[in-house]
Amino acid sequence: MAAKAGTKKIKEITENKMEPAKLGILLFIAAEMMFFAGLISAFLVFRFSPAPWPPEGQPRLPIAVTAVNTALLILSAFTFYKALELLRKGKKGMYLLLLVTTFLLGIQFLIIQGNEWMKMVQFGLSIHANPYGGFFYGLVGLHGIHVFGGVLALLWVLVRSLMGAYNAQKNLGVDICRTYWFFVVGLWPILFGLIYL
């Protein structure tokens, strides 16, 4: 009884199991998911209310162009995935090529989205007539800001890569950027399905 608490067998922790930055970005993404969950649940309240959706007199959203854009964004997640795998195998040339491809795909997504957005403004999709326009500009805009953030992070990783900061063993920065990019890409098909289709 006397020695019970003192000699209790407890596993000694020797090494840190996880990179702090990696855990940090995962938690950050969890918080972001709750943010978008809030927005999406608000959207669903309107989408499935008895009132007609979209409201009468509002332009239809461009499905075909955005579907192609969605496919290209998903492709960018694949190129980024491959890029880091190649870097981990020490193939730096191929890594840089795929990283640049990912970066360019990200930029083209933003350009096409911006272009479509401008067209919607011209077609008269109003932000203040009713929540329909509000959700389009709000949700698509917020996602666009997140993609823009991801593109900036990609640019940072690209510049650091050209300076030779990463190699097969040391590539945490690329990994974190990739994790965030997966989140940004993974979110889009959900928003596309809900808002456009």
Partner 1 sequence: MSQGHHQGFWTKYIFSTDHKMVARQFLLLALGMAVFGGFYAFLIRWQMAFPNQPAPFFGPVTPDKYNVIITMHGTIMLFFVGMPLLNAFPSNFLVPLMIGARDMAFPRLNMASFWMTVVAAILLMSSFFVPGGPAAAGWTGYAPLSASSEYTGVKIGAVLWLLSLAFVFISSSLGGINYLVTVVTMRAKGMSYSRIPLTVWFLLAAAFTFFLAAGPVLAGAFMLLMDNVFGTGFFLPFKGGEPLLWQHLFWFFGHPEVYVLFFPTLGFCLDIIAVFARKPIFGKKLIIGSTIAAIALSFVVWAHHMFVTGMNPTLVTPFAITTILISVPFAIIYVCMFMSLKGGSIRLEPPMIWVLGFLATFLVGGLTGIFLGAAGADIYLHATYFVIAHFHYTFFPSVFFGGYAAINYWYPKMFGRMLNKTAAILHFVLTFIFFNCTFWPLFIVGMGGMVRRIADPSFYPQFAIFSHLNVFATISAMCLISSQTIFLWNFFYSMKNGKKAELNPYESNTLEWLAQSPPPHGNWGPKLPVVTGDPYEYSQPGEASDWKSQSSYKGDAIHG
Interaction site with partner 1 (CB under 8 A) = 1-3, 5-6, 8, 10-14, 16-21, 23-24, 27-28, 30-39, 41-42, 45-46, 49, 51, 55, 127-131, 133-134, 137-138, 142
| Cβ nearer to partner 1, comparing 42 with 104 | 42
Identify the CA nearest to 22 among candidates 178, 187, 184, 186: 178
CA distance 170 to 80: 17
Q: Shortest distance, CB of residue 63 to partner 1, whole angstroms?
A: 23
Distance CA 91, CA 61 (A): 42
Give 62 or 138: the residue with its C-beta nearer to partner 1: 138
Closest approach of Cβ 88 to partner 1, in Å?
A: 22
Q: At closest approach, how far in Å is the CB of 173 from partner 1?
A: 14
**Closest to partner 1 by CB, 58 or 70:** 58
Question: Which CB atom, from 106 or from 144, has the smaller least distance to partner 1?
Answer: 144
Whose Cβ is closer to partner 1: residue 23's or residue 162's? Answer: 23
Q: CB of residue 13 vs partner 1: minimum separation in angstroms?
A: 6
Q: Cβ of residue 111: shortest distance to partner 1, in angstroms?
A: 24
